[in-house]
Amino acid sequence: MSEDTVTTPVSGGRRLTIGAVCAALRIDHPDISISKIRYLEEQGLLHPQRTRGGYRLFAQEDVERLRTILRLQRDEFLPLRVIREELEKAAEGARQRPRRRPVSTGAARGPRFGELISAAGVNEEFVRSLEEFGLIGAEAGRFRPEDVQIVAAAARLQRYGFDARHLRAIHSAIQREAGLVEQVLAPQLRSANPDRVGAGLEQLDELAGLCAELTESLLVRDLRRLAGATTASTRSEVTT
């Protein structure tokens, strides 16, 4: 049984599995993933309860804390170090900074070049390399809000030897996924009927989550298969 499907106890208040938390936050934060939640826990920003079997269980306050972290990343482009300080201040009773709501369409404004570098904790050369290979791009001087997470994740992958050239292959695969979704939903999204467009947008959110879940599951399965094959090979060498 996987962690995101384990049954949660109801004593002491309702607690959610990591998969349920992911699903609950995906509407407001489409880029949320199980691996991202685990990373935030590794960085000391989240402290979910653990069952005897090691499964994570999130109380309502854990979910709200995660929601705050994601909001500060998305809307205010804060690095994790600053977010940790903000959360510590809130825990001590200090007033949390107000949410800055964008004007016009209601979509969050993306960061400028300098803001992106600061929020992701990288240097200018690294961001330029991601631009060169098409992983990110600015429009009218601003990047998209999601680019902060993209750059931060790319920087972590760089520690393992992945550069922008390697990440382009991952981006190409994702673009093909997006193309498939577009083929399915294009008639609705381009419709003159507002109700049909609205339904298409709801399905777009759902499909984005399902594709992300499938991609992650396939990747984990194949990497575990690789790890298993490596372990089996090592054991064979030891016994021969």
Please say whether the dihedral angle defined by the alpha carbons of residues 159, 162, 167 and 169, taken in this order, is positive or negative.
negative
Q: Which helix (H) or strand (E) holds 176?
A: helix 164-189
Domain presence at residue 15: yes
Domain that holds residue 54: 1-100
175-195 pLDDT per residue, tens: 999 999 899 989 988 988 888
Domain end call among 121, 136, 162: 162
The answer to whether residues 124 and 198 belong to one domain is no
3-state class (DSSP) for residue 158: helix
Name the domain count of the chain: 3
Q: Please enumerate in sequence order all residues whose Cβ is within 8 A of that of 51, keeping only pairs 6 or more positions apart, or say none.
A: 6, 57
Cβ(191)–Cβ(200) under 8 Å?
yes
3-state class (DSSP) for residue 134: coil
Domain end call among 78, 100, 122: 100
132-187 pLDDT per residue, tens: 999 999 999 999 888 988 999 999 999 899 999 999 999 999 999 999 989 998 99
**Of the candidates 150, 138, 149, the residue with the CA atom closest to the CA atom of residue 112:** 138
- The pTM (predicted TM-score) of the whole model is 0.52
The answer to whether residues 8 and 80 belong to one domain is yes
Domain end call among 82, 100, 118: 100
CA distances in angstroms from 33 to 138, 140, 190, 209, 229, listed in the order given: 24, 29, 29, 9, 27
- Residue 32, domain CATH: 1.10.1660.10
